[in-house]
Structure 1
Amino acid sequence: MANAHHEHAQTRHSLLKTRTKAFCAAFLDLPSNPPQKLLQEHFTPTQPCITEHGPSWASSCLPFLGRTFTGVNECLQYFDLLSKTLEFIPSPDTFGDEGSIVVDENARPGDGDAGAGGLASVKGKAKFKAIATGKEWEEEFVYRLSGFDEDGKIGHWEVWADPLSAWVAVGGEEEK
């Protein structure tokens, strides 16, 4: 019995890692992966969630920060708000090597996440550009994927990035 559990855990681990890598790879070719396609191919069909963490006071210039977008329509709204504010400029090494993805197939859903469980963390780096000002900057960021369903589709995508650099780039405050 213990061996069967180990095999299931290894299979689940492999599934979540493969699904996470596929989701990240989609970002390296955004023109071929518009938001509707990303949601359909990589997220659970019922109540997907996206949260980009950041201070609520910054939402006047960065309207996608500090709240959770729940459901397909709100997730599409997240992508729309993001694309009107920032451009994501990935590079071939945006998601680095195998070590940039860590999977815990036994992690249980939390914070309202539904699903079969499991958690993946991804470290990335990319260049970003403010649409309104044209200012560019490079930063590192972290994705936390959770609420995976039985097929390994993502229930909740959380983003931790550098909201201060984004705030300055969009003109929220002049650099000193």
Structure 2
Amino acid sequence: MAPTRAQLQKAAEALCDDFSQKKDLGTLLSHFSTSHQVTAVEHGEQCLAPFLGRPFTGLKNVEQYFGLLQEHLTYENMKFSEWVVDTEVMKVSVKGNADFTWTSTKEMWKETFTYTLDFDEDLKVTDYQVWADSGAAYLARKGKLNELRKLRREQA
């Protein structure tokens, strides 16, 4: 029997809640399928950040993806809203907001992003896709985001 809208949304909310609460990698991976091939992709130009622009396929590689996020980013005030649930294709899309910091430079930015999550019949994630502000991440990584903001204020 196919999952209901409420069941799909609850499964997506569980992953999003654990991510927003900075749970450990094992907890995050527990939301992913062990009966299907799993993939995590954060869309963007691959050269901008080590976690962008390439599929992380298989649980070990999905773990690597989340590890790279933990290595390079911290975040606060993560919230999710505007849930779109499609029971026919077992997919959930959601908008998120958070305050991100690139750990090595300490540069911060506010970001709106989206997740699209595909689920298997056991309500486990098979495909995890993210669309985010890769430009802000890149500038923060290079330590140039605050410099650019200052220049913009001076020109205004």
TM-score above 0.5, yes or no:
yes
Deviations 1:83-135 (A, max 9, x none): 221112234xx114xxx11101112xxxxxxxxxx110000100000111101
Q: Does 1:170 align with 2:133?
A: no
Indicate the percent of aligned positions where both proteins have the same amino acid. 38
Q: How does 1:133-172 map to 2 (within 5 A)?
A: 133-146=105-118, 148-171=119-142
Partner amino acid, structure 2, of 1:88: Y
TM-score by length of 1: 0.77
Contact 1:89 1:127 (8 Å CA) reproduced: yes
Q: 2:33 aligns with which of 36, 41, 44?
A: 44
- Unmatched segments (≥5 aa) in structure 1: 1-7, 108-117
- Unmatched segments (≥5 aa) in structure 2: 152-156
Contact 1:102 1:121 (8 Å CA) reproduced: yes
The runs of at least 4 aligned residues of structure 1 exceeding 4 Å deviation read none
Contact 2:44 2:53 (8 Å CA) reproduced: yes
TM-score by length of 2: 0.86
Q: Which has the higher strand share?
A: 2
Q: How does 1:93-108 map to 2 (within 5 A)?
A: 94-96=79-81, 100-107=82-89
Partner amino acid, structure 1, of 2:47: W
Contact 2:18 2:27 (8 Å CA) reproduced: no
Q: Does 1:65 align with 2:37?
A: no
Distance apart, 1:172 and its partner CA: 6.6
Q: Does 1:21 align with 2:13?
A: yes
Looking at structure 2, the residues matched to 71 and 80 of structure 1 have their Cα atoms a distance apart, in angstroms, of 14
After superposition, the CA RMSD in angstroms is 1.7
